[in-house]
Structure formats: C-alpha cells, structure tokens
C-alpha cells in the first residue's frame, strides 16, 4: 500500500500511550492498534479529526503517501 500511517511517530512526539489515546479519542484499543500498525483499510474523517485534535497535529502528520517506486 502506498499510504503509510505515522500514528506511532506522533504518539511518541506527544509522549502518549495507545491506551491514553484510545480513551481520549473514544476508540477501542484494538481498532486504534489496527490503525497504528497500518493494517486498516480505511479511516473515517471523524476518527481522523478526533485523533488530530488530541495529538494537536494535521492529517498529513499521521498519513503519508509513498509512491510504489520509493518503497
């Protein structure tokens, strides 16, 4: 896949655990873990909005496009 999820990077920059983010965003730990590991096939804009609010970041800080030739 050409979309890289950098959620773990942003969480580390904010010194926030997966459990803490899960509580603040009101998502299950397993769904957030799927997103963090890059195994998610989609993300709702409402979820992305909530994550960006909690982590005080932009969607581009979490999601990155990498062309197939750069992998």
> What are the tens digits of pLDDT across the range 17-55?
999 999 999 999 999 999 999 899 999 999 999 999 999
pLDDT of residue 70: 59
Q: Is the pLDDT of residue 1 over 80?
A: no
Alpha carbon distance 18, 40 (integer Å): 16
Give me the half-sphere count of Cα atoms (radius 13 Å) on the Cβ side of residue 71: 8
CB count in 10 Å sphere of residue 32 = 20
Domain assignments of the chain as residue spans, ordered by start: 3-70
Q: Which residues pair with 3 in a beta bridge?
A: 65
- The model carries a pTM of 0.88
Strand, helix or coil at 6? coil
Q: What is the CATH number of domain 3-70?
A: 1.10.260.40
């Amino acid at each position: 896949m050409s979309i890289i999820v950098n959620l773990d990077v942003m969480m580390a920059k904010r010194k926030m655990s997966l459990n803490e983010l899960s509580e603040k965003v009101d998502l299950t730990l397993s769904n957030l873990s799927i997103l963090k590991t890059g195994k998610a096939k989609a993300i709702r804009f409402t979820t992305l909005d909530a994550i960006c609010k909690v982590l005080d970041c932009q969607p581009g800080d979490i999601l990155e496009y990498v062309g197939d030739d750069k992998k």
